Copies of this chain bind each other. A is one copy, B any other.
Amino acid sequence: MPRSSDARTRFVDTAAGLFRRHGYHGVGLSQIISVSGAPKGSFYHHFPGGKEELAEHTVRHAGAVIAKAIDEAFLEAASFAEGARALADRIADWFEASEWSDGCPITSIVLDTTPTSERILQATQEVFEGWLVRAAGHAERLGAEGDPRTTATRLLVALEGAWIVARVQRSREPFAQAAALVAEA
Protein backbone atom coordinates (compact mmCIF):
# COMPACT_ATOMS: atom_id res chain seq x y z
CA MET A 1 0.00 0.00 0.00
CA PRO A 2 1.43 3.42 -0.93
CA ARG A 3 2.38 5.91 1.76
CA SER A 4 -0.17 8.61 2.54
CA SER A 5 2.05 11.29 0.97
CA ASP A 6 1.95 9.26 -2.25
CA ALA A 7 -1.81 8.86 -2.17
CA ARG A 8 -2.51 12.50 -2.91
CA THR A 9 -0.14 12.46 -5.89
CA ARG A 10 -1.69 9.24 -7.17
CA PHE A 11 -5.20 10.64 -7.03
CA VAL A 12 -4.15 13.74 -8.98
CA ASP A 13 -2.07 11.85 -11.57
CA THR A 14 -4.85 9.33 -12.14
CA ALA A 15 -7.49 12.06 -12.43
CA ALA A 16 -5.34 13.99 -14.93
CA GLY A 17 -4.94 10.89 -17.09
CA LEU A 18 -8.62 9.98 -17.04
CA PHE A 19 -10.11 13.48 -17.38
CA ARG A 20 -7.98 14.29 -20.44
CA ARG A 21 -9.26 11.15 -22.18
CA HIS A 22 -12.92 11.15 -21.16
CA GLY A 23 -13.70 14.63 -19.79
CA TYR A 24 -14.65 15.56 -16.24
CA HIS A 25 -18.12 14.04 -16.34
CA GLY A 26 -16.96 10.93 -18.19
CA VAL A 27 -15.05 9.65 -15.15
CA GLY A 28 -16.53 8.72 -11.79
CA LEU A 29 -14.78 9.32 -8.49
CA SER A 30 -14.93 5.62 -7.63
CA GLN A 31 -13.12 4.85 -10.90
CA ILE A 32 -10.38 7.38 -10.13
CA ILE A 33 -9.89 5.97 -6.63
CA SER A 34 -9.85 2.40 -7.93
CA VAL A 35 -7.39 3.08 -10.78
CA SER A 36 -5.11 5.14 -8.51
CA GLY A 37 -4.48 2.18 -6.25
CA ALA A 38 -4.35 4.58 -3.29
CA PRO A 39 -6.31 3.81 -0.13
CA LYS A 40 -9.96 4.69 -0.65
CA GLY A 41 -10.28 5.86 2.93
CA SER A 42 -7.65 8.56 2.40
CA PHE A 43 -9.46 10.30 -0.46
CA TYR A 44 -11.64 12.66 1.57
CA HIS A 45 -8.75 13.34 3.92
CA HIS A 46 -6.82 14.79 0.97
CA PHE A 47 -9.81 16.23 -0.91
CA PRO A 48 -12.64 17.10 1.49
CA GLY A 49 -14.33 18.95 -1.41
CA GLY A 50 -14.63 15.69 -3.36
CA LYS A 51 -14.34 15.39 -7.13
CA GLU A 52 -14.53 19.15 -7.71
CA GLU A 53 -11.59 19.79 -5.38
CA LEU A 54 -9.64 16.97 -7.00
CA ALA A 55 -10.30 18.56 -10.42
CA GLU A 56 -9.10 21.92 -9.12
CA HIS A 57 -5.83 20.36 -7.98
CA THR A 58 -5.55 18.46 -11.27
CA VAL A 59 -5.83 21.77 -13.14
CA ARG A 60 -3.13 23.33 -10.94
CA HIS A 61 -0.86 20.30 -11.29
CA ALA A 62 -1.24 20.23 -15.09
CA GLY A 63 -0.65 23.96 -15.09
CA ALA A 64 2.69 23.46 -13.34
CA VAL A 65 3.75 20.73 -15.79
CA ILE A 66 3.04 22.97 -18.78
CA ALA A 67 4.66 25.98 -17.08
CA LYS A 68 7.86 23.94 -16.73
CA ALA A 69 7.63 22.92 -20.41
CA ILE A 70 7.22 26.59 -21.40
CA ASP A 71 10.38 27.55 -19.50
CA GLU A 72 12.38 24.63 -20.87
CA ALA A 73 11.35 25.41 -24.46
CA PHE A 74 12.12 29.12 -24.28
CA LEU A 75 15.22 29.06 -22.10
CA GLU A 76 17.09 27.09 -24.78
CA ALA A 77 15.73 29.13 -27.69
CA ALA A 78 17.50 31.88 -29.60
CA SER A 79 14.20 33.58 -30.51
CA PHE A 80 10.55 33.51 -29.44
CA ALA A 81 9.63 31.79 -32.71
CA GLU A 82 12.20 29.05 -32.02
CA GLY A 83 10.86 28.59 -28.48
CA ALA A 84 7.27 28.39 -29.77
CA ARG A 85 8.32 25.66 -32.19
CA ALA A 86 10.12 23.72 -29.46
CA LEU A 87 7.06 23.95 -27.17
CA ALA A 88 4.67 22.91 -29.94
CA ASP A 89 6.97 19.99 -30.82
CA ARG A 90 7.13 18.83 -27.23
CA ILE A 91 3.35 18.85 -26.78
CA ALA A 92 2.96 17.10 -30.14
CA ASP A 93 5.47 14.44 -28.96
CA TRP A 94 3.43 13.80 -25.79
CA PHE A 95 0.20 13.73 -27.73
CA GLU A 96 1.46 11.42 -30.47
CA ALA A 97 2.91 9.04 -27.85
CA SER A 98 -0.57 8.77 -26.31
CA GLU A 99 -2.02 7.95 -29.74
CA TRP A 100 -3.84 11.30 -29.80
CA SER A 101 -5.76 10.57 -26.60
CA ASP A 102 -4.11 12.72 -23.94
CA GLY A 103 -5.52 16.14 -24.78
CA CYS A 104 -4.93 19.24 -22.67
CA PRO A 105 -6.18 18.08 -19.25
CA ILE A 106 -7.23 21.61 -18.40
CA THR A 107 -9.39 22.01 -21.50
CA SER A 108 -11.09 18.67 -20.86
CA ILE A 109 -12.00 19.73 -17.34
CA VAL A 110 -12.91 23.34 -18.03
CA LEU A 111 -15.21 22.67 -20.98
CA ASP A 112 -17.27 20.26 -18.88
CA THR A 113 -17.47 22.48 -15.79
CA THR A 114 -17.49 26.15 -16.89
CA PRO A 115 -19.38 28.15 -15.76
CA THR A 116 -20.98 25.62 -13.38
CA SER A 117 -17.95 25.34 -11.10
CA GLU A 118 -16.61 28.69 -9.93
CA ARG A 119 -13.82 26.88 -8.11
CA ILE A 120 -12.46 25.13 -11.22
CA LEU A 121 -12.92 28.24 -13.37
CA GLN A 122 -10.88 30.32 -10.95
CA ALA A 123 -8.07 27.75 -10.84
CA THR A 124 -8.01 27.66 -14.65
CA GLN A 125 -7.93 31.45 -14.89
CA GLU A 126 -4.97 31.52 -12.50
CA VAL A 127 -3.15 28.79 -14.43
CA PHE A 128 -3.71 30.50 -17.82
CA GLU A 129 -2.60 33.80 -16.31
CA GLY A 130 0.56 32.15 -14.97
CA TRP A 131 1.37 30.74 -18.42
CA LEU A 132 0.75 34.14 -20.05
CA VAL A 133 3.00 35.99 -17.61
CA ARG A 134 5.71 33.38 -18.12
CA ALA A 135 5.44 33.36 -21.93
CA ALA A 136 5.28 37.18 -22.04
CA GLY A 137 8.48 37.29 -19.98
CA HIS A 138 10.22 35.06 -22.52
CA ALA A 139 8.82 37.17 -25.41
CA GLU A 140 10.27 40.29 -23.82
CA ARG A 141 13.61 38.69 -22.97
CA LEU A 142 13.98 37.28 -26.49
CA GLY A 143 13.06 40.58 -28.11
CA ALA A 144 9.89 39.33 -29.89
CA GLU A 145 8.15 41.99 -31.96
CA GLY A 146 4.98 43.57 -30.59
CA ASP A 147 3.41 43.64 -27.14
CA PRO A 148 4.70 40.67 -25.08
CA ARG A 149 1.29 39.98 -23.49
CA THR A 150 -0.37 39.87 -26.91
CA THR A 151 2.34 37.56 -28.23
CA ALA A 152 1.81 35.25 -25.25
CA THR A 153 -1.98 35.21 -25.73
CA ARG A 154 -1.53 34.31 -29.39
CA LEU A 155 0.76 31.42 -28.44
CA LEU A 156 -1.83 30.10 -25.97
CA VAL A 157 -4.70 30.43 -28.48
CA ALA A 158 -2.71 28.66 -31.20
CA LEU A 159 -1.52 25.77 -29.01
CA GLU A 160 -4.92 25.10 -27.42
CA GLY A 161 -6.49 25.07 -30.88
CA ALA A 162 -3.80 22.75 -32.22
CA TRP A 163 -4.43 20.30 -29.37
CA ILE A 164 -8.09 20.03 -30.44
CA VAL A 165 -7.60 19.85 -34.20
CA ALA A 166 -4.78 17.32 -33.77
CA ARG A 167 -7.07 15.10 -31.70
CA VAL A 168 -9.55 14.96 -34.55
CA GLN A 169 -7.04 14.73 -37.39
CA ARG A 170 -4.70 12.39 -35.45
CA SER A 171 -1.76 14.30 -36.83
CA ARG A 172 1.11 16.57 -35.71
CA GLU A 173 0.36 19.01 -38.52
CA PRO A 174 -1.86 21.38 -36.45
CA PHE A 175 1.02 21.88 -33.99
CA ALA A 176 3.34 22.75 -36.87
CA GLN A 177 0.77 25.28 -38.07
CA ALA A 178 0.34 26.72 -34.56
CA ALA A 179 4.09 27.28 -34.30
CA ALA A 180 4.19 28.81 -37.78
CA LEU A 181 1.30 31.15 -36.92
CA VAL A 182 3.13 32.45 -33.88
CA ALA A 183 6.46 32.67 -35.72
CA GLU A 184 5.05 34.59 -38.68
CA ALA A 185 2.60 36.93 -36.90
- A→B interface (CB under 8 Å): 22-26, 99-101, 103, 107-108, 110-112, 114-116, 121, 124-125, 128, 150, 153-154, 156-162, 164-165, 167-169, 173-174, 177-178, 180-182, 184-185
- Contact partners of A174 in chain B: CB under 8 A: 153, 156-157
Contact of A157 (CB < 8 Å), options: B24, B26, B114, B158: B158
- Contact B167 A110, beta carbon cutoff 8 Å: yes
A158 to chain B, nearest CB (A): 6
Quick one: closest B residue to A150, CB to CB?
B177
A109 to chain B, nearest CB (A): 10
- Contact partners of A115 in chain B: CB under 8 A: 99-101
Given the known interface contacts A161-B164, A162-B161, A168-B128, the answer about A112 and B153 at a Cβ–Cβ threshold of 8 Å is: no
Quick one: closest B residue to A122, CB to CB?
B168
CA distance A124 to B168 in the complex (A): 7
- Contact B111 A107, beta carbon cutoff 8 Å: yes
